[in-house]
């Protein structure tokens, strides 16, 4: 009995060790380039991610590629091509470099997810590879509030209105404009502000779990100008039940920024905005406790922390990987 137990322990330990050896390369491989067919490498900005986060995906080829596709979150990933000889960085110096942003929704179940990448070089055979990406639970605060019943239970008409507006927003976020409407880094929409709060916060109102807070809040004075985080096209500019006066900007490739609780909207649907252009003013419209900007980011329907987009592309354009021959 004693022997068989220790033998079982031995095999258990061997099994654990084997599993560890097997898992370790999966966890580290995503951060370093790996090959995906002759002369093609695939790289992620981090080996793993968290709920509500972003990853930058790079596909680099020594020869021109005729097609690059990938599937993430059961959706086709929209890639863009980094122009060769880009003066900001050495990234596009030779060959073909494609990039894409992957969003991890703030409620995506933790686990390991596959990212399948397929490439077709203009003079070769198709190749494919699969990355395993571990997704961890985000660290979000939970807020428990006791409030008057009328604040958590809107009447039938208000519920109908809120549902219609939610559907309208979903229909907008589902549209993938195929062109990349911006160039360079994203910025925080308020001047002189670098951090905000409340992203992903779970709210429990009178013991009932509400939906998590899907944006970042920036408390500010009413009337403070709000700047477009990047260039894009206005997809929505109207008053909504929960977010008050709201503007949504389409940046192309499934990327949308959302600005809520405005005192004043200064743009209309269809307007083409430049980065930094004033689209409205901070206010306290909709369901708020005080004046602030609610800033949201949606990437192919995934609700992610917009402050991460400011950092992600900032890092990517300012961190050369290989020296550029002059
Ligand atoms: Zn908010």
Percent of the chain scoring above 70 in pLDDT: 82
Q: Quick one: pLDDT at residue 205?
A: 79
Compute the distance between CA of residue 243 and CA of residue 283 in angstroms, rounded to an integer. 11
pLDDT tops 60 at residue 322: no
Q: Quick one: pLDDT at residue 153?
A: 77
- The band of 151, judged by pLDDT with boundaries at 50, 70 and 90, is low
C-alpha 125 to ligand 1 mean position (Å): 49
C-alpha 201 to ligand 1 mean position (Å): 10
pLDDT tops 80 at residue 8: no
Look at residue 306 and give its three-state secondary structure: helix
Compute the distance between CA of residue 250 and CA of residue 236 in angstroms, rounded to an integer. 9
C-alpha 81 to ligand 1 mean position (Å): 34
Read off the pTM.
0.84
| Dihedral sign (CA 260, 292, 272, 194) | negative
Q: What is the pLDDT of residues 47-71, one digit of tens each?
A: 999 999 999 999 999 989 999 999 9
C-alpha 257 to ligand 1 mean position (Å): 13
Q: Quick one: pLDDT at residue 118?
A: 95
C-alpha 147 to ligand 1 mean position (Å): 18
pLDDT tops 50 at residue 159: yes
C-alpha 296 to ligand 1 mean position (Å): 8
C-alpha 93 to ligand 1 mean position (Å): 41
C-alpha 75 to ligand 1 mean position (Å): 27
Q: Are 36 and 29 in contact (CB under 8 A)?
A: no
C-alpha 261 to ligand 1 mean position (Å): 8
C-alpha 15 to ligand 1 mean position (Å): 47
Q: Quick one: pLDDT at residue 77?
A: 96
Q: Quick one: pLDDT at residue 246?
A: 98
pLDDT tops 80 at residue 94: no
- Average pLDDT, rounded, for the chain: 86
The DSSP secondary-structure symbol of 323 reads P
Q: Quick one: pLDDT at residue 85?
A: 62
Q: Which residues, 6+ apart, have CB-to-CB distance to 4 below 8 Å?
A: none
Name the more confident of 184 and 18: 184
Q: Quick one: pLDDT at residue 84?
A: 77
C-alpha 243 to ligand 1 mean position (Å): 8
Mean pLDDT of 31-46: 86
Mean pLDDT of 120-138: 90
Q: What is the pLDDT of residues 174-195, one digit of tens each?
A: 999 999 999 999 999 999 999 9
C-alpha 316 to ligand 1 mean position (Å): 28
- Do β-strands 126-136 and 111-121 pair in parallel, antiparallel, or remain unpaired? antiparallel
Compute the distance between CA of residue 76 and CA of residue 74 in angstroms, rounded to an integer. 7
C-alpha 69 to ligand 1 mean position (Å): 35
Compute the distance between CA of residue 300 and CA of residue 74 in angstroms, rounded to an integer. 10
CA-closest candidate to residue 235, choices 181, 196, 309, 160? 181
pLDDT tops 60 at residue 88: no
Q: What is the pLDDT of residues 202-257, one digit of tens each?
A: 988 788 888 899 999 999 999 999 999 999 999 999 999 999 999 999 999 999 99
C-alpha 220 to ligand 1 mean position (Å): 12
């Amino acid at each position: 009995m004693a022997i068989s137990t220790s033998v079982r322990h031995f095999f258990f330990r061997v099994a654990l060790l084997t599993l560890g050896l097997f898992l370790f390369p999966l966890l580290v491989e995503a951060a370093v380039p790996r090959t995906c067919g002759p002369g093609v490498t695939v790289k992620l900005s981090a080996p793993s991610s968290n709920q509500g986060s972003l990853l930058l995906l790079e596909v680099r080829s020594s020869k021109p590629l005729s097609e690059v596709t990938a599937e993430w979150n059961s959706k086709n990933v929209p890639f863009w091509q980094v122009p060769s000889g880009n003066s900001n960085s050495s990234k596009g110096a030779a060959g073909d470099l494609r990039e894409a942003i992957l969003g991890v929704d703030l409620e995506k179940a933790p686990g390991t997810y596959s990212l399948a990448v397929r490439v077709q070089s203009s003079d070769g055979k198709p190749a494919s590879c699969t990355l395993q990406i571990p997704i961890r639970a985000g660290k979000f605060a939970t807020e428990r509030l006791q409030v008057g019943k009328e604040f958590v239970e809107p009447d039938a008409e208000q519920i109908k209105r809120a549902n219609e507006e939610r559907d309208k927003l979903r229909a907008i976020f589902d549209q993938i404009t195929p062109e990349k409407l911006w160039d360079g880094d994203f910025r925080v929409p308020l001047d002189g502000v670098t951090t905000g709060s409340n992203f992903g916060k779970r709210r429990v109102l009178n013991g009932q779990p509400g939906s998590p807070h899907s944006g970042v809040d920036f408390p500010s004075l009413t009337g403070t100008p709000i700047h477009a985080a990047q260039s894009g096209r206005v997809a929505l500019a109207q008053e909504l039940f929960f977010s008050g006066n709201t503007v949504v900007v389409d940046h192309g490739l499934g990327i949308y920024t959302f600005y809520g609780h405005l005192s004043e909207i200064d743009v209309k649907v269809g307007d083409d905005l430049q980065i930094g252009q004033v689209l409205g003013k901070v206010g306290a419209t909709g369901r708020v406790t005080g004046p602030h900007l609610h800033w949201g980011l949606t990437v192919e329907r995934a609700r992610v922390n917009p402050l991460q987009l400011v950092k992600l592309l900032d890092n990517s354009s300012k961190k050369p990987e290989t020296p550029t021959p002059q």
